[in-house]
Amino acid sequence: MRETSLCSEILAKSKPEETIEEHTGKAISFLLKYFDWHERNISRVAELAGVSAEELKSRLFATVYLHDIGKASMDFQRHIHIRDKSKGTPHALLSLPFIYAAVPPLDGIHYESLAVMSHHRPFYDNLYSDRSDMEFEGRYCVEEAKRFYRKLPIIHEERTGKEYPFSLNEPELGIARDLLKRVKDLYRVPPKTREIFSLFVSALHYSDWLASANIDYKYSGGNIAERTERAVKKANRSFRWYDFQNRIRDIEGDVFIRIPTGKGKTEAALLWVDRNLNSGKLIYLLPTRVTSNAMYLRMKRIFGDMVGISHGTAALRIAEESGWGTEEYKSKKLLSSTFMEPVTVATIDQLLLASFNWYHWEDIEQNAAFSAVIFDEIHSYDTYTTALILNLVSELKERGAKFAFMSATFPDYLKEGLEGVIGERPLIQEENYDKLSRHRIHFIDTPIENAIQSIRRDYERGKKTLVILNTVEKSMKMYKELKEVIRSDDIILYHSRFIERDRREKEDKIIKHAELSRGFIAVTTQVVEVSLDIDYDALYTELAPIDALVQRMGRVNRRGKRGVVDVFIYEPSEESFKIYGEGNMRRANEIVQDQEINGKEITEGMIKTLVERQYPKEEMLKELKKEMGNIQDSLRYLRVNLWRIQTLQLSDEWNTLRKLAKSREERFPTIEVIPLDFKEEIDKLSNPAEAIRYIVRVPLYIVDKCLLKEERWYADVNYNKEYGIINCKS
């Protein structure tokens, strides 16, 4: 094919073939829908930017209309027409002269240009620096590109019914560095720049991605209460709403929910969402991947395919439903990771890390604006993460989001800390549950190893028994000793140092055996506290803070059908004090040895009192306030250094910023690795993404001497399916 014939038809897509006019037309159609979906947000950002909503929409229109004009280049058309593997110069960069000429800056910032040049890769200061000596002249099908460019005002009036408000200037087709320097002159920009820029990126991504996806997309779900009631009735025909659930469905605005485990908090929160969603998105946040996976399946039973899932290994869950590498998988993964689905279930980290400008932060924050956000198990985070949550809530509150905070314990300091951000709000609880008693506590001032014969007897009596240790090393030791006296496959070890594939198998086995009639023993760490939805018969545990003990007890006699069961708490290992802190463990020890507690039935009403003793309000509020100050300082420093709008990069020179950008305070820094023994197996995978099955997050001190960096981190460790990662081989 001759070079000149490449310009006879400017294609944007090859499978199926689609011209730039056709693709752009679809993108504009989705942009017009975006105007309706984000109407409140567009009005807010327009006010922030000091322009009218109509002018802002015209700027967004130009951004979407011209985002792919760079495909009218000889390189890209050669790639499309004759299947040349190389696309040559990135078309997003080649679009830059046109969008720069079409729209004047807003307060000196070229938001449209920044969004277009980065719509296929995150924006950062050195973006396209390797192309700075390139000349734009001679790279285009010039007549076709300019003809398309000049139609912008015409198409704008046709599609919006309004005149395009700006004059079109002639594109500058000079040296790239001159234009890049002007566009990226972003030092000392005001804080509002971040929110304005994220709207431009979000609008372009919605328009471009949905125009290419060919899916039946819904922005928001509806009939939440009706869908929830239908799902509950299907599982329980004799169902009726509890009083607290009926009360919460009438509350408009933020709410606190303190209800015991297994008593309908989730359904109550969904009734609240029905009242407060207002055509926005539902975001359901949880502490762990396991709880997120379980809630995702639960939400799918209510909302069907409108549910997305986002966490570190969510791709594995999505692939299991749609198959690796399929278009359905790619689309679902993208929509889930950016919170674009009507309902998103995610770990808290996904939203918190957006505050630090992690990948796709623009889309996540824009989708969280004017949404209904449920924070489940809000009590389960340390002070650092809680302070991050308070900062996040403060920022999203300004963007119109509404919040439901749920906990079985809900200490007063936490409620008061949240009210400092959102104002005083109602606490929904059910006093009828205060007298509910499911457990009798026994504190035994000896190591938990002394319980081995008691555990064996419970197993032989057919009980499903949970044994919880505070460290992985202690759980391995306990498991090994139990195996010596119980020679059966009805015992399993479960902790955080298994590869994802093996961990999932263990979770399934623990859940499955909860329903069987014979005895079973699960030896675990605290990962079980807010993860697996199980109902076992007996609990043996090391001492931990009271709220952690409450969560552990919530895995035993969960539904109260066994009357009152005995819970045995043993003295903690020395390592427990490093994990939970000296003060927390000291207070927990005093509480469980109290004569009014030890050997007595514990009611839900008593639990509230015990939690307040565990976390003295004034002391905790002081610590929380201090942590919030530190976090705000860190965020301010990071955002200034990122010019407010750059996406955090993973290169070495960003190391200081990366250390600041974390959602959990790690006493022992962790890293995601793959045991080296699986490398050969991974190299044979047809789809490299499947390597996620072999990932395990482990403390750095365990593997720092045997780390190997290739395409991903490998660790030359002793690993087996029964015990997980033990140590370095050498």
Write the DSSP string, 444-470: E-S-GGGGHHHHHHHHHTT-EEEEE-S
Residue 67 reports pLDDT greater than 60 = yes
Token couple for 233: 């009735």
What's the confidence (pLDDT) of residue 87?
64
Would you tell me how many other CB atoms lie within 10 Å of the CB of residue 573?
Answer: 19
Would you tell me how many other CB atoms lie within 10 Å of the CB of residue 73?
Answer: 28
Listed in order, the ranges of the chain carrying CATH 1.10.3210 are 3-213
pLDDT tens-place string over residues 171-185: 999 999 999 999 999
Beta strands in 43-168 (DSSP E): none
Residue 4 reports pLDDT greater than 60 = no
Residue 431 reports pLDDT greater than 70 = yes
What's the confidence (pLDDT) of residue 651?
58
What's the confidence (pLDDT) of residue 262?
77
Residue 85 reports pLDDT greater than 90 = no
% of the chain beyond a pLDDT of 90: 80
**Answer CATH for 436-615 from 3.40.50.300, 2.40.160.20, 3.30.70.270, 2.60.130.10:** 3.40.50.300
Residue 649 reports pLDDT greater than 90 = no
The stretch 692-705 carries a mean pLDDT of 92
The stretch 86-90 carries a mean pLDDT of 78
Band the pLDDT of 654: cuts 50, 70, 90.
very low
Band the pLDDT of 662: cuts 50, 70, 90.
confident
Band the pLDDT of 398: cuts 50, 70, 90.
very high
Residue 2 reports pLDDT greater than 50 = no
Any idea which fold 224-430 has? Answer: Rossmann fold (3.40.50)
Instruction: Give the CA-trace dihedral at 665, 407, 232, 561, to 10 degrees.
Output: 110
Residue 434 reports pLDDT greater than 90 = no
What's the confidence (pLDDT) of residue 80?
86
Band the pLDDT of 1: cuts 50, 70, 90.
very low
Going by C-alpha positions, the residue among 494, 499, 542 that lies closest to residue 522 is 494
Which residues are CB-contacts of 9 (< 8 A; sequence separation ≥ 6)?
Answer: 19
Contact 494, 507 (CB under 8 A): yes
Angstrom distance (rounded) from CA 525 to CA 493: 9
Architecture category of domain 3-213 in CATH: Orthogonal Bundle (1.10)
Contact 653, 688 (CB under 8 A): no
Listed in order, the ranges of the chain carrying CATH 3.40.50.300 are 224-430, 436-615
Angstrom distance (rounded) from CA 40 to CA 370: 8
β-pairing, 520-524 vs 464-468, is parallel
Contact 532, 555 (CB under 8 A): yes
* Sign of the four-CA dihedral 623, 624, 629, 630: positive
Band the pLDDT of 650: cuts 50, 70, 90.
low
Angstrom distance (rounded) from CA 551 to CA 570: 16
What's the confidence (pLDDT) of residue 84?
65
pLDDT tens-place string over residues 595-617: 889 999 999 899 999 999 999 99
Instruction: Name the β-bridge partners of 402.
Output: 372
- Is the whole model's pTM more than 0.75, yes or no? yes
pLDDT tens-place string over residues 572-583: 999 999 999 999
The stretch 666-681 carries a mean pLDDT of 87
The stretch 187-203 carries a mean pLDDT of 96
What's the confidence (pLDDT) of residue 430?
87
What's the confidence (pLDDT) of residue 652?
42
Contact 418, 625 (CB under 8 A): no
Residue 503 reports pLDDT greater than 80 = yes
The chain-wide mean pLDDT, for the chain, equals 92
Long-range contacts of 414-420 (CB under 8 A, 24+ apart): 414/378, 414/379, 414/386, 414/615, 414/620, 415/256, 416/617, 416/621, 417/386, 417/390, 417/621, 417/624, 418/256, 418/390, 418/393, 420/390
What's the confidence (pLDDT) of residue 40?
95
